[in-house]
Structure 1
Amino acid sequence: MTTLSATPRPRTHPTPRRTGPGGLHRTLLRTHRPALLLTGVVLTAAAAALGWLHSLGDEARAGVSACATPASGVLPSCAAVDAITADETYASGLAVIATVLSWALFPVAAWAGGALTGRELENGTAQLAWTQSVSPLRWLAAKLALPAALLTAGTGGLVLLNLWARGDSNPNLTGDWYDADVFVSTGPTAVAYALAGLALGVLAGLVWRRALPAAGVALGASLLLHGFLERRREDLWPALTRVAPHSIELPRSAFPLSSDTPNGAQITRTTFHPPSHFWPLQYVETGLLLAVAAAATAAAFALLAHRLP
């Protein structure tokens, strides 16, 4: 009789599969698909609305009363012209788009704090990813990089479409360049606000590690940032001062800051920002916002690295 003996094979363990940056981004897209789809719908609707408003621009501008600065002949002063003859649909539509762009900071911050980081730390999704050969710092980099790229492309594209729809930016139709919402929605500050909201939200999510508290804190921090810069915007670049006898009538598009007549004097002193200050003010505010975003991002990475074993 022949006895057959079987030699047991050594048991092998599967090697954990490393997840590359592409895998992290695909996972991020799947996890936050509803929010991304909603954002896509909003961006598409806003782009379509701006295209339609652009088609109304010539007709709307034709209905605005003519004026001159200073008043000349039969033309009234532009400072006294009321845009009651403007196409209300065109003007109101541009005002809505400006508000959406200038306040995009808040939903971005709430989503970044509540869903992007806070909820994943609260329910353990982030910790699970860290055990699958995804380092925490690489996880955080992916959490920031992809949304930042999408926010920059989406918000920047809407700003360009908004400028296109506004045409020659007649203030009787589109609002003065220094109006709070108009200012933010017509320059790079709109993108910078969105990026600052993203960074503040991510930092709040890492600090509180719970969705609702993180979303609330991110909203509060964004509100403070937005309010502070809006109140101090006029101080971000040196204003001009004009002195003249009697009263001073500034150009229609000037941003008046103060006007006073010293006691016993026959002169008026007026401080204002001319339209040429639009871009210096934009650049300074954008730089401050990007500095806030960079500081919040650095703090988020430092906090995460400090908590690692």
Structure 2
Amino acid sequence: MSAPTLRPPSDPAAPSRPAPTPLRPSGLTWTVLRLHRAALLVWVAALLVAGALMTWLYVIGPDARAAVVPCATPPTDGLPDCATLRAIHTDENYGVGLDLVATALSYLMLPVAAWAGAALIGRELENGTAQLAWTQSVTPVRWLAAKLAVPAVLLTVGTTTAVVLHTVARRDGNGPLAGAWYDPEVYASTGPVTVAYALAGLALGALAGLVLRKALPAAGAAFAVTLALSYLMQALRPSLWPTTTITGRTALDLPPDVLVLEHGVVTSDGRRIGNDLACVGSETQDQIRACMKNSRLSDFWATVHPESHFWPLQLVESGVLLAVAGAAVAVAFTVLRRRTA
């Protein structure tokens, strides 16, 4: 028989220990994520859908490429039947899928800017949530820094992943199915400019929210400004890097991976005329000589951006966009300090 365990009587005057509370995430980062969890879930869902789509496009890429080979009706000389190839539709699905992803990535900055102006900043200033946080342990500067840093990290990681998957899904060598590197939407969705555009949209949207302090006007202003920035950069893009000038008869037969900015001729008296397509349709050397003689031409030239200029153009444009984002952030902090001083 075991002896009973004796416990000392509890002292009613002794302070009771509170039950331990479970650890929960805290801090400004968690607050931003919790407050904007709906946008976070939409962002994650969009990335998952885009990732699944681009994985499927990568898988069907070889079949799509095989569907655009030369054909004949009826099939002859080893060429497949054209009707059979047209019935596959893999190339159409592949092209439509790539266009859809490219468009979404190219204009990602627009919904990002509208959301940043309306939900991230404008709505909190309009309903007083931000002012309430400032009266507690969070300073306005820390509040804005967290508001910008958390979505900036999520946008950078997610957009970079989407760009990499999109580039892989395009598969080098798919030719007209994947589009030329200089096509506006292809260019804006296959390099670092995609991330830079998203960050610029975030910064401009936050600035609009701080200036206007109302959700809907800030969303509209941010959308309009980022759209104007997109069109401006597209217009300035060819001048962001020095062009290459090709002379001689090579200028008449440029490869499809070259962005032609201007094409012209040199007359027999030495005058250079731009945007003159004389003799472009000539196929043989004799036809070229005859055309040059009849047109009184001495040479041809073309100003182009070869495919090797893709990365220099991307890096310069990304630098410009990040400078815009940095300037917008600096102005946003200046506006915040003046209004809370």
Distance of aligned partners of 1:155 and 1:246 in 2 relative to their CA distance in 1, 3 Å threshold: closer
Shift of residue 31, structure 1, vs aligned partner: 1.3
What secondary structure is seen at the aligned counterpart in 2 of 1:191?
helix
* Mapped partners of 2:135, 2:159: distance in 1: 35
Q: 1:93-242 counterparts in 2 under 5 A?
A: 93-242=97-246
**1:298 to partner: Cα distance:** 0.7
CA contact (8 A) 1:109 1:198 kept: yes
Which letter does structure 1 place at the counterpart of 2:227?
A: L
Q: Hey, what does 1:92 align to over in structure 2?
A: 96
Query: Please, which of 286, 304, 309 is the counterpart of residue 336 of structure 2?
Result: 304
| Equivalent position of 1:293 in the other structure | 325
2:101 is equivalent to residue 63 of structure 1 = no
Count the aligned residue pairs: 272
Superposed CA deviations along residues 257-284 of structure 1, whole A, max 9, x for unmatched, are 1111244423221111111000000000
Q: State the alpha-carbon separation in 1 of the partners of residues 171 and 105 from structure 2.
A: 18
Q: In the TM superposition, what is the alpha-carbon distance from 1:64 to its structure 2 partner? A: 2.6
CA distance, structure 1, for counterparts of residue 266 and residue 225 of structure 2: 41
Q: Secondary structure at the match of 1:168?
A: coil
DSSP 3-state at the match of 1:241 = strand
**What's the CA shift for 1:191?**
0.3
CA distance in 1, matches of 2:239, 2:105: 23
Tell which structure's C-alpha radius of gyration is larger. Answer: 2
| Aligned 8 A contact 1:105 1:193 in 2 | yes
**Cα offset for 1:89?**
0.5
Q: What is the SS of the residue equivalent to 1:259?
A: strand
Instruction: Report the Cα distance in structure 1 between the residues aligned to 2:104 and 2:125, rounded to whole angstroms.
Output: 30
Give the drift of 1:171.
2.7
Q: Secondary structure in 1 aligned to 2:181?
A: coil
Which residue of 2 is the match for residue 256 of structure 1?
A: 260
CA RMSD between the two structures = 1.7
Whole-Å Cα distance in 2 between the matches of residues 22 and 102 of structure 1? Answer: 35
Q: Report the Cα offset of residue 44 of structure 1.
A: 0.7
Task: Report the alpha carbon displacement of residue 177 of structure 1 after superposing the two structures with TM.
Answer: 0.1
The share of aligned pairs that are identical, in percent, is 54
Deviation at 1:22, TM superposition (A): 4.7
Equivalent residues of 2:60, 2:94 under 8 A apart: yes
- For each residue in 1:22-46, what CA deviation from the matched residue of structure 2 results, as whole angstroms up to 9, or x when unmatched? 5211111121111111111111100
Specify every segment of 5 or more residues in structure 2 that has no aligned partner in the other structure, as ranges: 1-24, 71-88, 268-295
Query: TM-score normalised to the size of structure 1?
Result: 0.85
Q: Distance in 2 between matches of 1:31 and 1:178?
A: 40
Are the equivalent residues in 2 in contact too, given 1:86–1:172 (CA < 8 A)?
no
Tell me if the contact between 1:109 and 1:215 (Cα under 8 Å) persists in the aligned partners. yes
Q: Is the 8 A contact 2:241 2:313 kept in 1?
A: yes
Query: How far has the Cα of 1:113 moved from its partner?
Result: 0.3
Q: Aligned letter for 2:340? A: L
Normalising by the residue count of structure 2, what TM-score does the alignment of the two structures yield? 0.77
- Report the CA distance between 1:169 and its aligned residue: 4.5
Taking a change above 3 Å as real, the CA distance of residues 243 and 225 of structure 1, as seen in their structure-2 partners, is: same
Q: Which residue of 1 aligns with 2:310?
A: 278
